[in-house]
Every structure is written in structure tokens, then in C-alpha cells.
Amino acid sequence: MAPYEKKHLIDAISFELDHCDDPIVYETYTKVLNCIDYEMAKKVASNVGSTVPDKPGRDNHGKTSKPLSQVYYNPKNPTVAARRIAILVADGFNLDEVKALCSSLSRAKAKTFIIGPHRGEIRASGNDHIKADHHFEGQRSTLFDALYIPSGHHISQLAKNGRAVQYVREAFGHCKAIGATGVAIGFLRDTVDLPGVEFQDEDSSHVKTSYGVVTTGKLDVKSASTGPLRVERDSQDFMAEFAYVISRHRCYEREMDGLTSRVAF
């Protein structure tokens, strides 16, 4: 199993045993775990207040099986097909960026959803409108694989909306891919306050990826709107880079480096 999968297993067992008030249950189960893996047993015992074993119940056989890990079943080639991407907007968002991103991802068979403060028409920075598929409470970030925030004057509204701020923190806490362009970078950096993440300058056309957060100061909407979507690392192409990060499913480095535990979500 991958390191983060081992952590998830320990967390899951610790969660369940925390609901057992009878010491006989968690003490006995700790002994069972100690016959499987000594390190796992020690961590679970410490979490649930059980007696921490001082030696293995029996030696680990040392055998491994690749199919036990979800990593084994990852596609051989990176893809965003069927992935669900939430686009967070409010009145005054950059419509060109949203259209370009939706067009690019849809050509790769990904699904995009407009999420706003309310369902229905949301005004763009000009006189145009777009219909929000859902509102912040209707479809939470946990129902999507990734989150994108376009630039535009709507950032000031999002910054004042606690639910919008929490929406992004929740996505970060669940290791989802996050993308932002232009002034939306400042929203992530200063308002959402994502810990440990490095951001691109708001006036730079280069792309920076840090712990699954992809940012660029300027999105090339013309390039993103035409041609096939490349799903690969590219510090010059936001869409290719963002698609690649989405294809990885989650950024578990955040969790392993302790960043998710620093965000309330």
C-alpha cells in the first residue's frame, strides 16, 4: 500500500475503535492488529488509548501484493475523462476564462459545473450571464474531483462569503486539485490562506504548481478554447498542467506533509 493508504487505514480503524467504550474491545483489537503489523498496532493503540505494544505479536511475513493498493488500478495514461470540476463564481467573474476552461475540459470528456451563491443566472464582468448549476450549499466540494476559480471582480464577493472560503478549504483538506487565475490567486493566498502552498505572481503568464494547487496570472483563453487538451506537465500551459494534476485524482502529499491538518474544513 502507498504511505497515504496506510495512514488512511490507521485513521479508519482508530475512528471505529474510538466509538468502543469497553476497554476489552480496543485492547483485544490492538493485540489482533499487533499480529498483523507492529507499527500499525502501535499507532492505533496510541490513538485510541489502548496499551501500546512493546514488541510484535508475531513477525510480519514481509509479503507484498500490488493489487492491494488503489495505485495499481490507475490508468496507464493520464486522463480527465468523467472527472467532475467545480467552477466557483459570483457576480463579476471572467466569462472568457470560464468558457475556455469548460470548452477545453469538455473536449477531454471531463464534466464542468458552475457553482455560485445561488442557482440560476450569475452576471459576468460584462453584461453577459451564465447559469449556475448549483449553489454553494447544494453541491459541496466533496462531490467534485477538482475546483477552479477564475479571475474577475467577483473575488471581492467570494472573499466576503464564509461558505465560499470554506468551500475551497474543504477541497484543499480533501486533497482535491485546485486551479486559480489572475486575482483569484490572491483570494487563495490571502483570504483562504492555504498553508504551505507557493503561488504564481498575478502578473505572470507562467504556471506554478504547489501541492496540487495550479496558478497562473494570465490564462491564454484563445489557446485553451481550441485544439485537443493535453494532459501533461507544462509550466507554460495552464490547461495542460491543471488537467495533469486533476488526472492524478488527489494530491496526497498535502496530507503526508501535514498541510491538511492545518486547515479547518
CA angle 62, 68, 72 (to 5 degrees): 115
Alpha-carbon distance 141 to 88, whole Å?
10
Tens of pLDDT, residue by residue, the chain (265 residues) = 899 999 999 999 999 999 999 999 999 999 999 999 999 999 999 999 999 999 999 988 888 899 999 889 988 899 999 999 999 999 999 999 999 999 999 999 999 999 999 999 999 998 899 999 999 999 999 999 999 999 999 999 999 999 999 999 999 999 999 999 999 999 999 999 999 999 999 999 999 999 999 999 999 998 888 888 999 999 999 999 999 999 999 999 999 999 999 999 8
pLDDT of residue 35: 94
* Integer Cα distance of 220 and 240 in angstroms: 12
Q: Is 168 helix (H, G, I), strand (E, B) or coil?
A: helix
Distances (CA, A) of 202 to 148, 185, 216, 244: 16, 7, 7, 22
pLDDT at 173: 97
Can you give the pLDDT at residue 139?
94
Q: For the chain, where are the alpha helices, taking DSSP H only? A: 3-17, 23-34, 38-48, 95-107, 155-160, 162-173, 184-186, 221-225, 238-247, 253-256
Give the model's pLDDT for residue 75: 87
200-216 pLDDT, tens digit each: 999 999 999 999 999 99
**CATH top-level class of 3-68:** mainly alpha
Say which amino acid occupies 79. T
Straight-line distance from the first to the last Cα atom of the chain, in angstroms, rounded to the nearest whole number: 27
DSSP 107: H
Question: Maximum CA pair distance of the chain?
Answer: 71
Q: Which three cell numbers stand for residue 138?
A: 447544494
38-48 helix and 3-17 helix, angle to the nearest 10 degrees: 40
Q: How far is CA 122 from CA 50, 54, 116, 135, 154, in A?
A: 54, 61, 7, 11, 10
CB 179 within 8 A of CB 148: yes
Closest by alpha carbon to 10, among 32, 35, 39?
A: 39
Phi, psi values for residue 78, rounded to 5°: -60, 140
| Cα 208 from Cα 221, distance rounded (Å) | 17
Give the CATH class of 84-262. alpha beta
Single pTM value for the model: 0.91
Domain coordinates in residue numbering, the chain: 3-68, 84-262
Neighbour count for residue 190 (Cβ, 10 Å) = 10
CB burial readout 242-261, b (16+ within 10 A) else e: bbbbbbebbbbebbeeebbe
Rounded Cα distance, 200 and 113, in Å: 25
pLDDT of residue 126: 83
> Which pLDDT value is given to residue 74?
87
Question: 169, 148 in Cβ contact below 8 A?
Answer: no
